[in-house]
Structure 1
Amino acid sequence: MHVSSAITVEHLTKRFGSVTAVDDLSFSVRPGAVTGFLGPNGSGKTTTLRMLLGLVEPTEGSALVGDRPYREIGRPAQLVGAALEASSFHPGRTGLGHLRTLAPQIGVPDARCHEVIELVGLAAAKSRRVGGYSMGMRQRLGLAAALLGDPSIIILDEPANGLDPQGIVWLRTLLRAFAAEGRTVLVSSHVLAEVQHTVDDVVIIGAGRLVHTSPLSGLEALAEQRVLVRTPADRAFADLAATRGWRVTTEGSSLVVHDVTAAAVGAAAFAASVELHQLSDGGVGLEEVFLRLTDQGVAA
């Protein structure tokens, strides 16, 4: 079990000339959980992570790993493992060779390189040159490098980029296992659907500002229930929806009934003798909530 440290960002601001990339941002990331750091492209996520890792100097505020700035940590790679991009590899080196160049700097034995390259599923490709790796393989190699020091804090920027569906499931399982070990896991993404089945908590920013932070259940509470319906009796169903005060929209060949349960729709249709060919739970519209928060920049 890893004894992990939290991440704390307080009133963090970064200006590049007249452009404010991050604006008075405050949030925390707890140990033992996967936190999704979410926002559209250009919202300030990567700049925030770079300040957290000491790569960019804040204009104002602080970003702490545990109780100190990253630059003040001795042997930081043994506390914090980070992968911010999947392109910073020498194309002529092999995957294993890349890790071997990092191991002495981090202070880990050569055997650890073999452990992590197997952990990320690249054992069969460890002797191939990185220049021939796919985007997904580069993502895995970046994760392997982040894990070399067996860190208790893991920070990943858009780690699902380039991964196929099987790879995304693999990544989700791995991150959940890290959190179960007590590690602090912070994962950025501009697509909520990529991480909503992985994360425990969410931090959402728009235009460099915090617009929402909560457990995932808190975001779900802002979303409405959706029920998908197909019926040959469109007029009768429309009349039923009107009497019940339901809001109905269309989605492909289905009708979408908003903010009501499938059980309620089914019971009402049965009582009114309205024939249904499809009745299914469409889940909560988390993506709609995410887009609304980030488009409007309104805190919730």
Structure 2
Amino acid sequence: MTVAGPTLAVEGLAKSFGAVRAVDDLTFAVRPGAVTGFLGPNGAGKTTTLRMLLGLTRPTAGRALVADRPYAEHPLPARVVGAALEASSFHPGRTGLAHLEAYAPQVGVSRARCHDLIEFVGLAGAADRRVGGYSTGMRQRLALATALLGDPPAIVLDEPTNGLDPEGVVWLRRLLRAYADEGRTVLVSSHVLGEVQHTVDDVVIIARGRLVHASSLSDLAGLAAPETYLEGPDPAAAERLCSTGGWDARPSGRGLLVAAPAAEVGAAAFRAGVELHQLASRGGDLEDVFLRLTADPEGAR
């Protein structure tokens, strides 16, 4: 199945709460057919931005658009973007199925759709249980089912892996990947890059309410400093090799971890006649890149 997902865009978006500037001149776009990770530390302004995108919070400046118009201007907005911003906004006395059935008329779908979705998200056995007794992970699954009610071409999820067990995380990754492969637009927020790096195609990173980076995941990985593990029978020769190459090196296991690409280290070892028993690229650490991009330039106070 092929679905034409809408482009999601924010343009010069800003939001102030009194003297606090929660979002500051934020501009980025989310393309269809891809999973985009919306990343930043806690308090970076992610949820506020998503609320403005969905018309739940009025911007101080700028605008947020879904397919070139505000979300609220779509005749049936839930049929365009399905969103789950909180996994706690449920009536505790309602059953999971009753929760979906309460939203079904607003979205314009049948009760049969509710039954299908409660099974799809793995809650068939708890459909008639009150939500007040659900675990955090079960609430996350119910929030996702609510977002999917209208079979929308775009999905916006805020911290969707919170409370999910490892099996649930893998299930969610596969679901988001499948939706993007159909051509839908998928935007997922997280404050931990490691939670989404195996899922996303693109990243939008904010800190202190401002954009600090937007690119494909592969381009972000290109910012990671490459490292190479080398090990040989003559440690002194390996250290001289690093010194001649001008590379920083530190002990690691029986060898050295060198701040240089493996191809460069291997070529230098060949020219110098230095025998190596192991030469392995360790790549860069995306989490280090993320922390560097989002670090407070003035430091913690």
TM-score by length of 1: 0.90
Structure 2 Cα separation of the partners of residues 234 and 125 of structure 1: 61
Aligned to 2:116: 115
Structure 2 Cα separation of the partners of residues 250 and 191 of structure 1: 29
* Structure 1 residue matching 2:194: 3-state secondary structure: helix
Aligned to 2:37: 36
Structure 2 Cα separation of the partners of residues 178 and 254 of structure 1: 44
Asked if the contact 1:226/1:285 (under 8 Å) is kept, the reply is no
Q: Are residue 273 (structure 1) and residue 271 (structure 2) matched?
A: no
CA deviation after TM superposition for structure 1 residue 213, in Å: 0.8
Structure 1 Cα separation of the partners of residues 37 and 86 of structure 2: 17
Q: 5+ residue gaps in structure 2?
A: none
CA deviation after TM superposition for structure 1 residue 171, in Å: 1.0
Cα-Cα RMSD: 2.3
Percent sequence identity is: 64
Superposed counterparts of 1:1-300, under 5 Å: 1-229=2-230, 234-249=235-250, 255-261=256-262, 265=265, 271-273=273-275, 276=278, 279-296=279-296
Output one character per residue of 1:128-179: Cα deviation in whole Å (capped at 9) or x when no partner.
2222222111111110100001001100001111122222111111001111
Instruction: Mark the CA change 1:232 to 1:272 in structure 2 (over 3 Å): closer, same or farther.
Output: closer
Q: 5+ residue gaps in structure 1?
A: none
* Structure 2 residue matching 1:210: 3-state secondary structure: strand
Instruction: Mark the CA change 1:251 to 1:51 in structure 2 (over 3 Å): closer, same or farther.
Output: farther
Asked if the contact 2:233/2:275 (under 8 Å) is kept, the reply is no
Instruction: Mark the CA change 1:264 to 1:123 in structure 2 (over 3 Å): closer, same or farther.
Output: farther
One-letter amino acid of the structure 2 residue matched with residue 130 of structure 1: V
Structure 2 Cα separation of the partners of residues 81 and 4 of structure 1: 12
Output one character per residue of 1:21-42: Cα deviation in whole Å (capped at 9) or x when no partner.
0000000111111111111111
Structure 2 Cα separation of the partners of residues 37 and 168 of structure 1: 17
CA deviation after TM superposition for structure 1 residue 240, in Å: 2.7
One-letter amino acid of the structure 2 residue matched with residue 237 of structure 1: A
TM-score by length of 2: 0.90
